[in-house]
């Protein structure tokens, strides 16, 4: 079974190394690297969720030769949802982590979009979420490299326009931390409206990045659901 993993805003493919290790040999993790970071640093970051999903869906032929599923965290949940819509019956399961249902309004950034804040405001938002990128942002030179990508990702999320469409066919599992300042379990549970298949909601201890340091428990839940899909 393959698990295509989609990072959070400002995140990279490397964020899924601990989860890949926890899943072990039974699941092959393929982590997507968005433009504008690490080995794709010279490419400009994208500011449109639909464009990101189009590009990923176009590459699906590279991994669709055997059963596969999608795991997306935060921004990655939105991207994963749109990729699944484009590929219909392709994925056997969709895991949406740390994000409310796609048609619900965001809890933060209503008065002023976060991507329009100055650098200090953007860093404060990352600190609130306990993002793994915060430690690196203590260095001014890394701020200059990283913040434009973070800002572009936030712009993609905050300008996302949900479009009505048929329900997905594959099962959806929604995961959320019990102390997430952005998403509560009720709003995460609204993902059930977007599938004609099975739906599961699981609440983990932790904040928006509950999966950091909790990879073993998360891997057990994913493996259990993938076994059903298989």
Catalytic residues: 74, 208
Determine contact, residues 34/41, Cβ cutoff 8 Å.
Answer: no
Dihedral angle of Cα 30, 33, 39, 42, to the nearest 10 degrees: 160
Residue with tokens 């991207």: 79
Question: How many CB atoms neighbour CB 212 within 10 A?
Answer: 16
Return the bridge partners of 115, or none. none
Half-sphere exposure of 80 (CA within 13 A, CB side): 34
**Nearest-angstrom CA–CA distance, 210 and 42:** 31
Q: How far apart are the first and last CA of the chain?
A: 8
């Amino acid at each position: 079974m393959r698990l295509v993993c989609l990072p959070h805003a400002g995140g990279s493919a490397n964020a899924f190394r601990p989860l890949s290790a926890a899943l072990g040999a039974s699941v092959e993790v393929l982590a997507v690297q968005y433009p504008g970071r690490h080995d794709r640093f010279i490419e400009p970051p994208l500011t449109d969720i639909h464009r990101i999903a189009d590009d990923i869906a176009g590459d699906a032929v590279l991994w669709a030769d055997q059963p596969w599923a999608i795991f997306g965290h935060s921004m990655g949940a939105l991207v994963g949802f749109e990729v699944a819509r484009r590929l219909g019956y392709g994925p056997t399961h969709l895991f949406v982590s740390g994000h409310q249902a796609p048609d619900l309004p965001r809890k933060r950034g209503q008065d002023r979009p976060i991507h329009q804040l100055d650098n200090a405001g953007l860093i404060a938002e990352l600190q609130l979420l306990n993002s793994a990128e915060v430690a690196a942002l203590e260095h001014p030179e890394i701020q200059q490299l990283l913040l434009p990508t973070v800002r572009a990702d936030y712009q993609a999320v905050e300008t996302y326009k949900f479009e009505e469409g048929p329900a997905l066919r594959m099962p959806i599992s929604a995961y959320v931390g019990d102390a997430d300042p952005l998403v509560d379990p009720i709003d995460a549970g609204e993902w059930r409206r977007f599938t004609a298949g099975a739906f599961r909601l699981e609440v983990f201890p932790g904040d928006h990045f509950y999966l950091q340091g909790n990879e073993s428990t998360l891997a057990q839940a994913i493996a259990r659901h993938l076994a059903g899909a298989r």
